[in-house]
């Protein structure tokens, strides 16, 4: 994986299917080492700056703990409290941070802002969620499905809900790895067409499939995994009322998952809103693997850090 040293991770499709599988194998290996109490510390003396312009539980804690376990350290930086929050240019910030730390993880609103940071930085930049993508989540999601289903190619993955950052990265990762992906969104909340076009191309190359529909039952029929995310993402709060109405028929509930395979996995990136995008019966039920999925953020990101830094 040394070929990835110095690279950024802004989008999951900066890696091809083979490279993603290699990262997943590394993540699984790192997870096993940890379970057996064996240290894996390739990043001794290395530092990760972590800029947050939005709230986080999983991303913040898993990156900080992950860096520590790899022998380095993570440093929490609130966007508001950096001089960035008082108008210092992103380009100057990129150049200054490049002199201090070995990589930066950033969670913010605009994806182009992260691209600008990466353009001016001489160190790897890792996307910890933008309005458009959440690549670290997608890698953890693939690791979770792989662990529980024993394979990825041909796995039927249904995503129900908002065509948002989580959906974009999940779908791209899944088609790169040859999954059979079905996405059900309400009209007006589809994934961006440029991302759909790329996903269709990747599916052709990998032998995967991509179905886009407004029909939740069509998406979930026979599914091996059923995934959903919140109806109102961070930064879209003022649309909440309109969204609650638009998504009302897109809840993952007991009737809907009855159409999935009986051994289906319920997945959600978290945080979740019980009674909105998913019922408590489904998310707290026996087919829910949300905490394995959350744990896998740690292992997947340690693989990313070990490969890039």
> Which residue, 164 or 206, has its beta carbon nearer to ligand NVA?
164
Residue 58, interface with ligand CP (CB under 6 A)? yes
**Per-residue contact string for residues 96-135; x = within reach of ligand NVA by CB under 6 A:** ---------------------------------x------
86 is catalytic: no
Closest CA to 48 of 130, 134, 121: 121
Q: Is 50 annotated as a binding residue?
A: no
**Per-residue contact string for residues 181-210; x = within reach of ligand NVA by CB under 6 A:** ------------------------------
Residue 299, interface with ligand CP (CB under 6 A)? no
Q: Which residue is at the shortest CB distance from ligand CP?
A: 59
> Which residue, 16 or 56, has its beta carbon nearer to ligand CP?
56
Q: Is 185 annotated as a binding residue?
A: no
- Candidates 269, 272, 278, 282; binder of ligand NVA (CB under 6 A) is 269
Q: How far apart are CA 75 and CA 59, in angstroms?
A: 13
Rg (CA), the chain: 19
> Which residue, 137 or 232, has its beta carbon nearer to ligand CP?
137
Q: Is 165 annotated as a binding residue?
A: yes
Binding at 233: pick from ligand NVA, ligand CP, none (beta carbon under 5-8 Å per type): ligand NVA
Q: How far apart are CA 185 and CA 175, in angstroms?
A: 18
Q: How far apart are CA 41 and CA 81, in angstroms?
A: 31
> Which residue, 62 or 233, has its beta carbon nearer to ligand NVA?
233
At closest approach, how far in Å is the CB of 73 from ligand CP? 19
Residue 56, interface with ligand CP (CB under 6 A)? yes
Residue 59, interface with ligand CP (CB under 6 A)? yes
Residue 252, interface with ligand CP (CB under 6 A)? no
At closest approach, how far in Å is the CB of 166 from ligand NVA? 5
**Cβ atoms 72, 89 nearer than 8 A:** no
Residues lying near ligand CP in the complex (CB under 6 A) are found at 56-59, 129, 137, 269-270
Q: Which residues are catalytic?
A: 107, 134, 137, 229, 269, 297
Which residues carry a binding-site annotation for L-ornithine? 165, 229, 233-234
């Amino acid at each position: 994986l040394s070929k990835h040293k110095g690279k950024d991770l802004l989008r999951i499709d900066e890696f091809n299917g083979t490279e993603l599988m290699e990262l997943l194998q590394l993540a699984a290996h790192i997870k096993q080492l940890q379970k057996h109490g064996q240290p894996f510390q390739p990043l001794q003396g290395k530092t990760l700056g972590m800029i947050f312009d939005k709230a986080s539980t999983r991303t913040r804690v898993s990156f900080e703990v992950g860096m520590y376990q790899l022998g380095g350290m993570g440093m929490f930086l609130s966007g508001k409290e950096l001089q960035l929050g008082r108008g210092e240019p992103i380009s100057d910030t990129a150049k200054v941070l490049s002199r201090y730390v070995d990589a930066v993880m950033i969670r913010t609103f605009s994806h182009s802002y992260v691209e600008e940071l990466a353009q001016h930085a001489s160190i790897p930049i890792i996307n910890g969620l933008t309005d458009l993508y959440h690549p670290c989540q997608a890698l953890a999601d693939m690791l979770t499905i792989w662990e529980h289903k024993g394979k990825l190619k041909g796995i039927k993955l249904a995503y129900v809900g908002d065509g948002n950052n989580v959906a974009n990265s999940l779908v791209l990762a899944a088609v790169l790895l040859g999954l059979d992906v079905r996405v059900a969104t309400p009209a007006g909340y589809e994934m961006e067409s440029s991302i759909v076009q790329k996903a269709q191309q990747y599916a052709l190359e990998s032998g995967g499939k991509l179905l886009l529909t407004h029909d939740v039952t069509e998406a979930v029929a026979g599914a091996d995994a059923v995934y959903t995310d919140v109806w109102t993402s961070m930064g879209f709060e003022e649309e909440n009322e309109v969204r609650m109405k638009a998504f009302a028929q897109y809840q993952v509930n007991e009737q809907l998952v009855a159409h999935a395979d009986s051994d289906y996995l319920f997945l959600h990136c978290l945080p979740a809103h019980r009674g909105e995008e998913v019922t408590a019966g489904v998310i707290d039920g026996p087919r829910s693997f949300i905490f394995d999925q959350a744990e896998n953020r740690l292992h997947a990101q340690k693989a990313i850090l070990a490969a890039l830094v």
